[in-house]
Structure 1
């Protein structure tokens, strides 16, 4: 289990799960969307180089990558048209550099507190984030489908997204947080037309998975 290395920080600051960039580079190169998720994620999650670090310094240190579950919620209507749950990032406690962007991904950091939960650390953190951010009352199937790394901007340089698809039998999802506004299902056709409003990770995921 990862341990928190000694860094100067306040005791109240959130500590998040990170992996050194050098460890990822020892496996291979990720830029954009990587579909061979197990090649990278399995050794990352088994690595003794995983650690919990204070969030503040990690947000500006690209030598570490923060692991971020990124869950797409997909619903196909009776006509066969695919829709994704979409929302606008508000002004709450999330990543301030993404505010006002539309997103199709639900998720967030794996925190030190997740290490106290039952089951695997990553899975525990992902489930906690989902429960905090949305109310999901539909049955669904689940698949882990890729990784996202986008070094073209300051946010992307410090995050590694782990992309999941939840295929829902009904479009029954509601936002749980003020930071997720205007939540609802939007057709892929509309999302493609309005792609310039989406955050970069959402653009990459849609292009890779639904082209």
Structure 2
């Protein structure tokens, strides 16, 4: 099996932006696009000087948010059984064929995981950086939001995830069961949404 190649940016290029967990500076988006590099995933997962770029989409339908639980069949063992507000994954070289490698990677992941086409309804929100744990130290989330009219109730990769819909108060109640990126997203943005 061929080693997965992931795209990211060397930390030195973006380090001055990584002083907060939730970053809203749009300049960082273009800096990432201008400095994108590739690395074998098994090396990138241990290389703290390289931030793998992860498009990370949260989906809202009326007053509820899509929540998924990562099963033990997912690749990233450090996140097994955690709840997540964000759907997404690594950017790969195939995504360079898109008009924008970040949104191209996200669109590919959504089709693979949910069978969902974004139809250009993505709204860029900001970035999540979490250097408090081993997963966060080597990843940077690029956060997008999408509002839909009808709930999604099924996934393509059933062995890797299960879906549910939560109101804000339910997320708050279960916040400790969520991965840290979802906690950061919730505390900095979702908990204040109307």
TM-score normalized by structure 2?
Answer: 0.91
1:20–1:75 Cα change, 3 Å: same
Kindly report structure 1 stretches of 4+ aligned residues shifted beyond 6 Å: 137-140
Alignment size in residue pairs: 190
1:99 counterpart residue number? 80
Matched, 1:53 2:39: yes
Alignment counterpart, residue 41 of structure 1, candidates 19, 23, 29 = 29
1:138 deviation in Å?
8.9
Classify the secondary structure of the residue corresponding to 1:130: helix
Matched, 1:202 2:190: no
Matched, 1:114 2:95: yes
Are the equivalent residues in 2 in contact too, given 1:31–1:151 (CA < 8 A)? Answer: no
**Whole-angstrom distance in 2 between the partners of 1:150 and 1:71:** 17
Q: Which runs of 5+ in 2 are unaligned?
A: none
CA-atom RMSD, angstroms? 1.9
CA distances 1:30-74 after superposition (whole Å, capped 9, x unpaired): 4311122x1211121123xx2110000110111000000000000
TM-score normalized by structure 1?
Answer: 0.84
**Whole-angstrom distance in 1 between the partners of 2:152 and 2:183:** 23
Are the equivalent residues in 1 in contact too, given 2:95–2:104 (CA < 8 A)? Answer: yes
Classify the secondary structure of the residue corresponding to 2:126: strand
2:14 counterpart residue number? 24
1:190–1:61 Cα change, 3 Å: same
Matched, 1:67 2:53: yes
